[in-house]
Structures are given as structure tokens and as C-alpha cells.
Amino acid sequence: MRGLTRLREIERATRPADPEFVAALARRWADLPDIVKTPGQVLGRHGVGCEGTHGVFPKCNLACTPCYHSRDANQVRVDGGHTAVNVTAQMGVLRRLRGPRAHAQLIGGEVSLLPPEDHAETLAVMRAHGREPMSFTHGDIDEDYLQALALGPDGRRRFDRLSFAGHFDKLMFGRRGIERPPSEAALNPYRQRFADMFARLRREHGVAFFLAHNMTVTPANLDEVAAVIRDCHGMGYGMFSFQPAAFIGDDRRWHEDYRAATPDAVWAEIERGAGTSLDYRVFENGDVRCNRTAYGFYVGDRWHPFMDGDDPRDLATRDAFFRYLGHVNFAGSAPAELVLKLARVVARHPRIVPVAVAWAARAVRRAGAGNLVRARKVQPVTFVMHQFMDAADVGPAWELMQQGRTSDDPRLRETQERLAACHYAMGHPENGTLVPACVQHSVLDPAENAELRRLLPIVDVRRRARGSNVVPAP
Ligand code: SF4
């Protein structure tokens, strides 16, 4: 009897598609504006989009230009209890509206200001809600912190895998050892040090990792983007994500004409760094005016796309992937589980085997079999560009959307289209809704942080001259 129960459990765990996930994908596709229902659209076919937290630890101890957080953010105390309660509530909304599986960013201020125990508890909450969490940090963290997070007080491993995004660029001030970076290249040892800590954690304690490298781009560092990619692609980062700066957040930190670093100019620099053109239409995540993505791998110093957008056979393979494997949850499955899921898909649709074999043969031919043998290593690296919108556009566009109105102004209409197809959502437990991160930072953050400042004041240890009241810092 117990054996039968176990078999049923295995059967359920290895079903290629979770019906709840399939339903969430269908809802996502139905809600997308027609303009983004392109052949390469990932939303609604393989994923529901990315998610992020807000208002759970707004404070940061570095200074960026620009900074997307509101002026009040640094006046809010970091409080692990507040973080856990609010992340739980936000994950509940995301779980209900976006389904059982998604990638979610633990983001707000600086995540490492959370004590390791609180950080670990929050990651566990996110996982319990079916989220694959990624912690966002400026990367100026100590190895002790990382070990305490990964291993716990008893020294035993508590996470098999961690995902972090490290933000490094010369527009950030206050990093220990390099308070005002003179160039992007000067930050390379810090980029390497950050990645090395994770490599050691894996080697010594068996904790797998995924690392993203994030960089804000303005006219001041645009022409250094290519060198960052060339110098750092082998450090261990699986993703290089670039954010052209937007006029959003704290207006005291707006110092340049950010729009001079246009999306095309930034993408051209990324291509220069990758040493090849990058086709961002093969796979699309939401609106390409918000996100451009190119998936591929390095063999030695050369990057190759997984799929060549100029080859109709690769595009047919992509379509087959969406059709037969789109509903399979790759990231959230244990390796053995995934193998069984794939085996069940193959058993049902054997025609995908020759398609996959032919695609793999083309990919090997493109990379060069000799190069693969010589390099003995294939390193998957994804290039991303995410272009936030300006608060001056998002505010009025969002207000009209709340009234169910479409703007006549082409600029606001474009903003509305992009918001409607948003790939990056945040949950609001107070009214059970999701909002695009652009709206969160442009419209909602100021009031939310003003309220948090009252709720979690930073206590000033100086006491008033008269009386013994402890007063909140201004
Ligand atoms: S957060 Fe803004 S820029 Fe990013 S995907 Fe959503 S609408 Fe587009």
C-alpha cells in the first residue's frame, strides 16, 4: 500500500505540466496586449514574468546616481520582522495572481543590511510560495555574511542553491576600498571578489549558485560597457544585465542627460562586448522597448546564441520548444525530477527528439567542435537590457489606465502599452493587486516610504537635552 502511494507521488511530481501553472500561463497570455503577442514571446508560453518585493528593507548604505528609491528610503530602519511579515503577504498575492512558479527578486534597499538569519528566513518564505528568489545587493558584502546565510548557526548547509544579483558600476559611491571608482575597470577586482566568494561556497560547502551582474548605464559609462563584458564574462556570472538610467526615484540623484544613453546605443555596446550581434527578437520577455534579452553561451572568449534568429530551422525549434516544453517547469524541478518529466514528454511526443538533435548539432557546428574540445567548458551567459521609464511619463499614463482610458499622446500611449505588458511586477496585499515596478518607483514609493518612516523610524541615540525621550532621526 505504501509502495502504491509512493508511486502515485512520483507520478504526480514528474507530470510534465502542473495544471495550475498551465492555467497561470493561459491567463498571462490572455491578458497581454496584442502588440507583444509575437512568435518569440516567452510570457504566457513558458513563464509568467519576474517579480520583486517593495517596502521591505528600503535602506541602502551605498549611494548611486541615479537611485530609484525615494528620498525617504534611507530614513527607514531595517527590521527583519517587518521584512518577513511583508514578504509573506506580498508573496501570497503573487502566488494567487501569478500561479505556483516564478522568479522573484528580494529587492528594495540593500539586502545585506538584513541580518543573515532574517535574510535566510525571507528566502525560505519565498521558496515556500513557489518562488525562485534572487537577492539583490551592491556586492560590498563579507564572506562571513554569505556563509552565515548559506550555512546557518550550526554550520550545516541550509540552502542547496543561492541566487544573487550584484550591482557594480562606477556611478555608485561608498564601496569599501574604492569609495569613488575612477573607472569601470577599477571595479573589476571587486566584481571578481564577489563571484569568488560564491565559487568557494560551492567548493567548500556544496552550495550551487546563480549570479547576475547588474550595471546602470549613463552617458558617463556607456563606452565602458563593452570592456566590462570582455573583462568579466569568465568570472562566474550567468547574466549581464544593463539598465539605461531613467529619471525615476530620488531627483536629488539625477545628474546627467540620461536619455543620451539610448537603448540602441546601450545594446550596441553590449554587442561590441559580446563580439557579435545579439538578436533580441528570438525570445522576448514582455515588450522589447522595456526588455531585450539574448540567451547563449561562451566557448573560450566567443559568445554564441542558443538559437540563431536568421536560421528558420532554429526558429522552428523555438516554436517546438514552446509547444511541447513550454509548460514544463525547468527551474523549479530537481534534476532527477526534470529528467523524468522530459522523458514523459518525449514518450508522448517522440518527434521532438530529431528536432532537438538537429538543433544541438547546429549549435555545436556554430561554436566549432574543435573549439568546444579545446575549451572543455561551455559557460551559459544571458545578456539583458532593462529600460525603466521616466516617472514624468509613468505617473500620468498610469492614472489614465486606472480610469480605463487610453492616452491620445503617442508618448503616453507607448508608456501605457509597456505597462500593460510589464514583465516585472510587485504585489500589493492591501488591495490584492499587482503593479509594474515602474509604477511602484514612480508613483507609489514616496507615500509608502513616508509611512514606513513613521512605522520604522531610525532611532537617534542622542537624547534631547531636556527629558529622556529617544527621538527619531529627521
Ligand atoms: S517595470 Fe517598467 S520598464 Fe520594466 S518591464 Fe515593467 S513597465 Fe517595462
> Residue 201 has which C-alpha cell?
561556497
Residues with CB under 6 A from ligand 1: 286, 290-291, 386-389, 418-419, 422-424, 436-438
Nearest CA to ligand 1 atom 6: 422
Q: Has residue 474 been placed in a domain?
A: no
Instruction: Look at the chain and report how many structural domains it folds into.
Output: 1
Residue 234 or 16, more confident:
234
Q: In this structure, is residue 133 part of a structural domain? A: yes
In a domain, 351, yes or no: no
The pLDDT-based confidence of 71 (bands split at 50, 70, 90) is confident
Pairing of strands 291-299, 239-244: unpaired
Cell triple for 349: 511526443
Give residue 449 CA to ligand 1 midpoint distance, Å.
21
Q: Which residue has the higher pLDDT, 6 or 57?
A: 57
Residue 243, classed as helix, strand or coil, is: strand
**Cα–Cα distances in angstroms (integers) from residue 438 to residues 184, 260, 381, 396, in the given order:** 27, 20, 26, 12
Question: Which atom number of ligand 1 is nearest to the Cα of residue 421?
Answer: 7
Question: At 297, which CATH number?
Answer: 3.20.20
106, exposed or middle or buried, with CB in 10 Å at 0-12, 13-18, 19+?
A: buried
Query: Three cell numbers at 156?
Result: 550545516
* Its pTM surpasses 0.85: yes
pLDDT band at 383 (very low <50, low <70, confident <90, very high): very high
Q: For residue 182, what are the domain limits? A: 2-312+375-388+447-455
Q: What is the pLDDT of residues 229-253, one digit of tens each?
A: 999 999 999 999 999 998 887 777 6
Distance 49 CA to ligand 1 centre (A): 11
Residue 446 DSSP SS3 = helix
Nearest to 394 by CA among 287, 249, 274: 249
CB 305 within 8 Å of CB 279:
yes
Q: Quote the CA–CA distance of 318 and 95 in Å, as a whole number.
A: 28
Q: Say how many C-beta atoms besides its own lie within 10 A of residue 392's C-beta.
A: 14
Q: What is residue 1's predicted lDDT score, i.e. its pLDDT?
A: 65
Closest CA to 11 of 330, 352, 343: 343
User: For 74-109, what is each residue's pLDDT tens digit?
Assistant: 888 999 999 999 999 999 999 999 999 999 999 989
Convert the pLDDT of each residue in 301-332 to its tens digit.
Answer: 999 999 999 999 999 999 999 999 999 988 77
Pocket mutation for ligand 1, best pick of 418, 435, 443 (most atoms within 8 Å of C-beta): 418
The pLDDT tens digits for 199-235 are 999 999 999 999 999 999 999 999 999 999 999 999 9
Q: Which of residues 182 and 1 earns the better pLDDT score?
A: 182
pLDDT for 460 equals 57
Beta strands 459-463; 470-472: pairing state? antiparallel
In a domain, 324, yes or no: no
Residue of 172, 383, 177 lying closest to 274 (CA atoms): 383
Residue 323 lies in a domain: no
- Asked whether residue 135 is domain-assigned, the answer is yes
Amino acid in position 86? N
Asked if residue 318 belongs to a domain, the reply is no
pLDDT digits 0-9 by tens, 248-297 = 877 776 777 777 889 999 999 999 999 999 999 999 999 999 999 999 99
- Ligand 1: which residue has its CA nearest to atom 8? 290
Is 416 within a domain?
A: no
Cis previous bond, 244, omega within 30: no
Reported as type and span, the H/E element at residue 52 is strand 50-52
Q: DSSP alpha helices (H): ranges in 294-431?
A: 312-320, 335-348, 352-367, 369-375, 391-402, 410-420
